[in-house]
Amino acid sequence: MEKGERVRKLRKEKGMTMEQFGAVLGIKKNSISNIESNKRNLTDALLKSICREFSVREEWLRDGTGAMYETGSSGTLDRINTILSGGNAFAARFFDAFSSLDEDEWDLLEKLIEKIASDVKDKVPENDEEHHSEYTPEQLHAELDRQIALEKNRTEKSKVS
């Protein structure tokens, strides 16, 4: 298997189009096409960029030896990159919001999720499929916003006291 074929294998494994894959690397779709079909050589800079962005071992991409991925790589960053490069505006806002949380906000979010999970568990009987679709996504989103506001108010009041 040549370098271009390994690039294609990686891109397809990530479930990305040539356009999405190229966007992560800052190059155009036609460049990815030419690399994958071995019409254009993979430069050292681009090879290193692919390895960095997708946690791929350089030896595998360069000459096909060893495992594709770095040992111990959880793949979490790869999955996030794949989601963000997919053009989903909500996903981008979601990850942007989470990336800006401080420790107190993470604690607040954890408490909020635990409370919502507890409330949902109390309200929905187990194995009752009829009630699992009782709420629309909009209603769930509104409830989450309400719970966040309540928890922020509680936290602010406890800091003042």
Q: Where are the domains of the chain?
A: 3-91, 101-160
Low-confidence stretches of the chain (pLDDT beneath 70): 70-78, 124-136, 158-161
pLDDT, position 161: 61
pLDDT, position 29: 95
Distance (Å) of CA 17 to CA 1, 43, 50, 62: 20, 21, 15, 22
pLDDT, position 47: 94
Q: Long-range pairs for 81-86 at CB < 8 Å and ≥24 separation?
A: 81/24, 81/53, 81/54, 82/14, 82/15, 82/16, 82/20, 85/16, 85/20, 85/21, 85/23, 85/24, 86/16, 86/20
At 109, which amino acid appears? L
Read off the pLDDT of residues 48-84 as tens digits, 9 standing for 90 and up.
999 988 888 899 999 998 888 865 555 666 677 777 7
Domain 3-91 fold is 434 Repressor (Amino-terminal Domain) (1.10.260)
Helices (H), 37-136: 44-54, 58-63, 76-84, 89-99, 103-123, 129-132
